[in-house]
Amino acid sequence: MKKRKTKAAPPLAPVELANNFTRGLVATGLLAAIQNRAAGAPPNRKVAQLALQGGFALAAGVATADSLRRQDFFSAVLAVASGVAGVMVVETLLATETHDEPKEAEIG
C-alpha cells in the first residue's frame, strides 16, 4: 500500500497573525476591564498592559501550534521567543509605578 504525501499547510500569513493578536487583545482587555471594575478601580494603564500582553500571547500560541502541526520546529521556537519578547516589551514600556512619589510640602 502506498503512502500518500500530504501537502504541508503554508505558515500563517501576517494578516492571520494580526487577526489572532486582535482577538487576544480584545478578549484579554475585556476580561481585565471587567475584573478591574469589579475591584472598584477605573480602567487604566494596567488594563491596556494586560490587553496587549494577551494579544501577543494568543498570537504566539496560535503561531506555535500551527508550526508544530506542520512539524516546523524552528518556527515554533521562533514564535514562542517572539511572544515572550512582545510580552516583555509591553511589561517594560507600560509597567505601572508601584512607588508613591513624595509630595511637596506647602509653605505658607
The pLDDT of residue 46 is 85
Backbone angles phi, psi at 20, to 5 degrees: -65, -40
Q: Rounded to 5 degrees, what angle do the CA atoms 10, 87, 30 make?
A: 90
Say how far apart CA 29 and CA 7 lie, in whole Å. Answer: 37
Q: How many CB atoms lie within 10 A of CB 19?
A: 14
Task: Write down the pLDDT at residue 54.
Answer: 94
Low-confidence stretches of the chain (pLDDT beneath 70): 1-8, 41-43, 96-106, 108
Q: What is the pLDDT of residue 102?
A: 57
Write down the pLDDT at residue 42. Answer: 64
